Chain A
Amino acid sequence: MKRILLGTLFAAVSINAMAEAPGGPNCGWGNLLFEGQRGTPAHFLASTTNGTSGNATFGMTSGTNGCSTKAALTYGGKSWLAMNGTMNELSEDMAQGQGEALTTYAVVLGVKPEDRAHFASVTHDHFQQIFSSANVTAEDVHNNTIAVLKKDPQLAKYATEA
């Protein structure tokens, strides 16, 4: 899993003449922390009839949102971290040092079960480095995480394996 995420990241870095966030312009890597979640205008009614508004997606194959669908860890081309709402949950979990989003992040990065508790505690200790400001993007958070992992002897292997 992780291999492919980093693979795409690096692929994008190596061709960054395109000056696009990995996965395409609309894939959310530029999403800021606390990006608003908006309801549809007719949300009250939409929820009444359980409507799907806009583009009815169908997992990764829809590929109609302008995202590359090649990377794993993607849903319809979005990286998990860049998905709406993920950064908020992850920031909360990391600040507290535990939680589902933090566990998922470890899994997504390929951290083995025996290292996950350590991952949680290291990222908790370095929360302010990883979430360095209120305006971090998903991409910043990912890069900062890798930087933190590199400095930890036990976790460094997850930052270099690509």
Chain B
Amino acid sequence: MLKRFAYLTLCACAPAYAAPSLDDARVQQLAADRYWIALGHYETAKLGGWRSYVDDDKFFLAEDGAHHPDRELRATVDALYAPANLGDKHAQCVFPARTRWLREQLQLSDLPTPDCQEYSRWYADVAPHSAVLIFPAAYLNSPSSMFGHTLLRIDKADTRSNDTTLLSYAINFGAYIEGSDNSILYAWKGLMGGYPGLFAMMPYQEKLSEYRSLENRDLWEYQLDLTPEETGRMVEHVWELKQVQFDYFFFDENCSYRLLELLQVARPGLDLTSQFPLTAIPTDTVKAVKQSGLVSDVRYRPSRERELLARAEPLDHHEKQQVLAVSADTAQLQSPEFTALPRERQALVQDAAYRLERYRATGQERDPEQARRSFELLRAINRNPPPPLQIERPGLPEDGHQSRTWQLGVGTREDRAFAEYGLRMAYHDLNDNAYGFPLGAQIEILQLKLRQYEGNDWQVQRLDLATIRSLTPRNELLKPWSWQVAGGLERVPGKHDDEVLVSHVNGGGGGTWQLADGLLGFALGTVRVEHHNDFAEFISPAAGFNGGLLWRNGLGNMTLEAKGDYFTNGEVRRSLSLNQQWEISQNLGLRLSAKREFSHLATAQNEVMLELKWYQY
């Protein structure tokens, strides 16, 4: 506000430079230009007119600039002619992208030339030349990461030839959290837009260690085909967004959406944001960017965990035991068991032990004893270095199936035929087309299934709010837990062989083991609370089990599962199920499901269904 008054007063009393008098038609025409709309982050408001996604007074020079691109444009032109001695506070220094565009459009050749020290130093330090879209892939043991995140990296002219991406900056858009809200409040506010969104710029190296070490996510780097000029335009605009608060919503106006807007500023002809009317899921945005022909090269950086597993992979049981022994006590490097190994196997064992040690230290305070062990291992590695790690690049995440899924099934339950219609908003289950997804991870958000029995008898079959499963295999070196949570409405056997719609929340924990290549076995203990109309009490708790096999075969993924719930009221509900997916194409799958359910309330029921799945967008 103050700044705005400063401009006004200065404009009033120091008319050394005169802003050109713009006729209204010209202002209207320019203000409606897509580029101006992009620079102001305007969208058409629900009741007509405009509103800006920016929720911050200091971003607008006109009093009502957030709703009037034309008034904002006029105010900006006036401010560009403010006296040059405003220095860093001059509109030209605060809004370099607006300045450039207006200068070009209106041929403003007589602008004052303030000395933008802060901006020039910052721009020279970033030295933009090319841009890279960064996508940290999902981490199996944190299925919520399946939604992913996208950020941008800005490289200098010599970054590629020198291989110094570690010196580049990353541009990140995220919710800005102040103070110390507790976790629940945090999640809620994050989803509901309770936090402002802010752009931040930080060393790429910081982001790398955050994702690769702290979160163990692989990183995908998509080199963008932007010219140095286009990259510069984008970075100029990022400066305008410094400390500027946006509305932030987890599902749509999120990191990915904002980055797409930036790309549109870089290359005015692009139209990326209009493809996401409802939700912008980061993998989808990667797809959109790729489809627009912006990606010239893809690079893969494995996570620290994947590197550790890859290093340990060729080791046999005895050698892995050595890895554990050496990482626990570096004196073992002198033990006869270790020194008896061939020298090149010693190199692998040492390196794996070092990586395991660092993996365990992740997220912990520095422990002097652990630091000493790590250092001893480094010295051993220095004396006998292992060959560089070769890690095969997994399937491109953007070539995986789309996230919104329509489902059409036909089947029979006992002797009744039915058709089933389903829609899932997101994202992936254990059986879905596997390319680009980790085996054993599932996250489903909002799934509705309606069933139509013979005789036009309709019913809600299930409504899942969220179903998350994380089946990460345990091995000799790493022992992650497997877990699952789910909640919503579903049909279960009830009295008189009816299917009763119950509301439920359930969860479980246990372990998963790699039985063979592409074959996982899992066993979890579960708990459940349920509201069931046939039960006397309002809420019924149960404990149980859930175990089975997940097999990646030539057709697709197969699961074979057994489940049991033992209710405190005496009901025992068990089921056996088999699901086999046939992956027809990237976005089409056919699934055969067979299930047999047992309950104390009803006779055993058989159900078979064949279901077509279309992963739409």
Interface residues of A (CB under 8 A from B): 32-39, 41-53, 56-61, 72, 75-76, 78, 80, 83-86, 88-89, 91-92, 94-98, 100-101, 103-104, 107-108, 113, 124, 127-128, 131, 133-135
Contact = CB atoms under 8 A, between A and B. Distances in A.
Interface of B: 118, 121-122, 125-126, 142, 144-145, 147, 149, 161-167, 169, 172-177, 180-183, 186-187, 190-191, 195, 198-203, 205-206, 209-210, 213-215, 242-243, 250, 254-255, 354, 358, 361-368, 370-372, 374-376, 378-379, 381-382, 385-386, 388
A59 B126 contact: yes
Contacts of A95: 378-379, 381-382, 385
B183 A42 contact: yes
Contact of A36 (B201, B255, B364): B364
A128 B383 CA distance: 10
A37 B363 contact: yes
A74 B172 CA distance: 19
Top-8 shortest CB links A-B: A49-B190, A134-B375, A85-B209, A50-B174, A75-B203, A34-B371, A95-B382, A59-B201
Given A97-B385, A134-B371, A51 B176 contact: yes
Contact of A131 (B181, B354, B365, B378): B378
Contacts of B172: 50, 52
B465 to A, nearest CB: 16
A45 B198 contact: no
Nearest to B374: A34
A56 B198 contact: yes
Nearest to A53: B177
9 contacts: A32-B371, A42-B186, A49-B175, A49-B190, A56-B176, A56-B200, A58-B200, A75-B202, A131-B378
A70 to B, nearest CB: 10
A127 to B, nearest CB: 4
Contacts of B142: 44, 47
A45 B254 contact: no
Contact of B174 (A51, A57, A107, A133): A51
A72 to B, nearest CB: 7
Nearest to A125: B382
A56 B243 contact: yes
A57 B172 CA distance: 10
Given A39-B214, A100-B163, A49 B385 contact: no
Contact of B162 (A41, A51, A98, A103): A103
